Structure 1
Amino acid sequence: MLNKRTLSHARLNPPVLVMVAATAIIMTRGLDLFMVFDMMGVRGLRELIQRSAQTWPLTLVFLGSLFVLCIELRCAFVVMKGRNWGRWLFLITQILSSVYLMSASLGWGYPELFSLPGETPGDIFRALVTKKLPDVLVLFLLFIPPRSRLFFRVH
């Protein structure tokens, strides 16, 4: 049985797996941004922003990607506090981004920055699985271990 002392202790100390998952979200997003900045440079980023501002659909995709990034980072911090909605929102963002990446890579969306390499749908799916593997591991850490589930149930 959970008593009041156990509940207050659980609020103060999130399980290690939850902390690892939240830290992984923050670090992978930061590393992704760093790699994009390094790959494109200042000139490339300026061109991407100018190109994205030329049409409404491109602007919405660009702003949407920034919005999803902010939501994912917010989820990481909320998850550390034990808020159950944070892990579910992170799961939803991963499903939406996977669907968009797959559709953009198959030619049903744009821009090129948000597409995966591959000539066949199978190649694209393998690239998607490879790209999303860290996020799947994070979701595993947030949803599967009993200590993680208990931590979110208590809050």
Structure 2
Amino acid sequence: MFRKRSQIQAKLNAPTLVLVAAIAIVTTRMLDLVLLFNLLGVRGILDFVHRSVQTWNLTLIFLASLVMLCIEIRCAFVIIKGRNWGRWLFLATQVIAVGYLWAASLGWGYPELFSIPGESKREIFRSLFTQKLPDLLVLFLLFIPARSRLFFKLQ
């Protein structure tokens, strides 16, 4: 019934690396949205949404991408609380995103909605790796350091 003081403090104090990872998730997602709005403008965003809802398949992919964005942001807040399932869910969203981007870029799925331009598979892979490098760093901060792993085991 009574917990030790150290256990209570462990729940309140997340390691710095975990906090940096969670803040990085939220920051990169919000920055991506701001840069997308800046690049496309209001008219471009409306055209993008209009193209995305032309067919049921495109609509489902568009809605799924929005749901994944919300899940990733939710994972960031759950990770700060020390919930182990949050980091695993974030890993799963990254695997799904990379898998779909790779498939769409190679011509499977709907490349006009989400694809990475490139002449060859190697060029596409290099661009995909460059785009996902911040997320790989976040995953590294969540899974590799001993303090991060210990933090999630204590919760």
1:16 is matched with which residue? 16
Structure 1: segments with no counterpart, 5+ residues: none
**CA–CA separation in structure 1 for the residues paired with 2:111 and 2:60:** 11
**CA–CA separation in structure 2 for the residues paired with 1:33 and 1:113:** 16
Letter in 2 for 1:32: D
Superposition deviation, residue 112 in structure 1: 2.6
**CA–CA separation in structure 1 for the residues paired with 2:15 and 2:102:** 34
Contact 1:87 1:142 in 2 (8 A): yes
**CA–CA separation in structure 1 for the residues paired with 2:111 and 2:101:** 10
Superposition deviation, residue 109 in structure 1: 1.8
1:33-112 equivalences in 2 (<5 Å): 33-112=33-112
* Residues 96-117 of structure 1: per-residue CA shift (max 9 Å, x gap): 0000000011111224341112
TM-score, reference length from structure 2:
0.95
User: How many percent of aligned residue pairs carry the same amino acid?
Assistant: 64
Structure 2: segments with no counterpart, 5+ residues: none
Contact 1:79 1:87 in 2 (8 A): yes
Superposition deviation, residue 122 in structure 1: 0.6
Residue range with higher mean Cα deviation, 92-101 or 47-56: 47-56
* Runs of 4+, deviation exceeding 3 Å: none
Q: What is the total number of aligned residue pairs between the two structures?
A: 153
**CA–CA separation in structure 1 for the residues paired with 2:7 and 2:144:** 20
Letter in 2 for 1:88: W
- SS of residue paired to 1:117: coil
Letter in 2 for 1:125: F
Letter in 2 for 1:131: Q
Superposition deviation, residue 5 in structure 1: 2.1
2:128 is matched with which residue? 128
* Residues 72-129 of structure 1: per-residue CA shift (max 9 Å, x gap): 0000000000000000000000000000000011111224341112110010011111
Contact 1:58 1:111 in 2 (8 A): no
- SS of residue paired to 2:151: helix
Structure 1 vs Structure 2 CA RMSD: 1.1
Superposition deviation, residue 4 in structure 1: 2.1
- SS of residue paired to 1:6: helix
